[in-house]
Amino acid sequence: FLCIVDTGDARNIKKKKISPKPTSPWKFRIPQFKSISYTINYDIMEQFFRNKLLIKVITKWRIHLAVIFIISLIAGIFVSSSMVITPLYKSDAIVYPVNISAYSEESETEQMLQIMRSTDIKLKMLDVFELDKHYDLKKNTPGYMAFFMNKYDDRVSINKTEYEAVMISVMDQNAEIAKAMVDSIIAFYNQKVTFLLRNKQLEMSIISKGDMTRKKAEIDSLSNLLKTWNMELGIMDVRAQIVGIANSNNSEDKKLLENLKEKGIDYKSTDSLLTNSRKEYLFYKNTYEKSVSEYNKNISYTQIISNPIVPDKKAYPIRWVIVTLTVLVTLILSLIAIAIIESSCKKEKN
């Protein structure tokens, strides 16, 4: 390739103070070309040939792999069927705690969780639903109770939701029993809370009743003492009587004045003590009546947001997951076995 470049006239050359060469006003230059380098990515090429080899091996063993696929598919369907895995139905309920107060720093929801997960409720469920027979457990077997607790915890889930409610989930091979167990957990929770609160109110009523009895005896004693002073000494109202007889010359009034001087302070103190005792008695009486009222309450301690229903579709096992995993694992193991066979055959040929 040739490039023709116009170099200009001699005047321009003088201005630039460059001595002109005795050459033609046209000169020829040969353009220079830079070398182009190519980088070969051997990793990509190696991966390409490996994929190509894999496709070749799969094509070679396609009939065997197809048979293995069909067999693994049938095996997965069989394994996930009810003949091998007992299907389980799931029933749920969502509840809120009501009419209770929390202990210490825990919330009402956390308190509900603790009670519903308690051993007492688990044992009640065991007795009512005969779960030992239902779960195929033998009572005479060593570790029977541990096996039952593990089985129960696997089938029954009680957890707190993000909205401070409690979700109760029960899985069982019988859909109606699953629903009945959820209802029973809620009922047993109400019974347990009622039992705990009644025990507390019973203690309070017994204590208040004792305080009332002691305070009533104290009131009777003080009243009798004041009555005696009133009958024997004629003292009724110390301040009013002193004002009334202060300037009297009557002998009876003088005698009463002497009695007031002798017992007036004691009478006034006793009367004040009697007034306070009556106030305390009323306080104990109100506490007792409130405790009895709370004890006799028959209310619910749960607010059911979502009632349990009898499920009409099994929740376990998830059949498509089992079938998919069975087929994938079988095919992967088959490819590994084929790779080993191909490698052995190649070594024998070499």
pLDDT tens digits, residue range 133-149? 888 888 888 888 999 99
Cα–Cα distance for residue pair 212/203, rounded to 1 Å: 14
pLDDT for 167: 93
**Other Cβ atoms within 10 Å of 176 Cβ, number:** 12
Average pLDDT for residues 191-203, to the nearest whole number? 90
Tokens describing residue 299: 């209310």
| 195 pLDDT more than 70 | yes
Instruction: Determine contact, residues 214/288, Cβ cutoff 8 Å.
Output: no
pLDDT tens-digit map of 243-272:
445 555 555 555 555 555 555 556 667 777
Q: Which tens digits make up the pLDDT trace of 268-295? A: 677 778 788 889 999 999 999 998 988 8
- Least confident range from 145-159, 178-192, 219-233: namely 219-233
In this prediction the pTM is: 0.64
Q: Which residue's structure tokens are 């709370």?
A: 294
Output the pLDDT for position 236: 56
**CA gap 270, 159 in Å, rounded:** 61
As its CATH architecture, domain 88-306 has 2-Layer Sandwich (3.30)
pLDDT of residue 16: 45
Averaged pLDDT, 69-86: 77
Evaluate if residue 234 carries a pLDDT over 70: no
Domain ranges of the chain: 88-306
pLDDT digits (tens, 9 = 90+) for 42-66: 455 455 456 667 777 778 778 888 8
Dihedral, CA of residue 275, residue 277, residue 278 and residue 282, to nearest 10: 140
Q: Given this model, what pLDDT does residue 81 score?
A: 67
**How high is the pLDDT of residue 95?**
93
Which of 37-41, 56-60, 163-167 has the least mean pLDDT? Answer: 37-41
In this structure, are strands 156-160 and 166-172 parallel, antiparallel, or unpaired? antiparallel
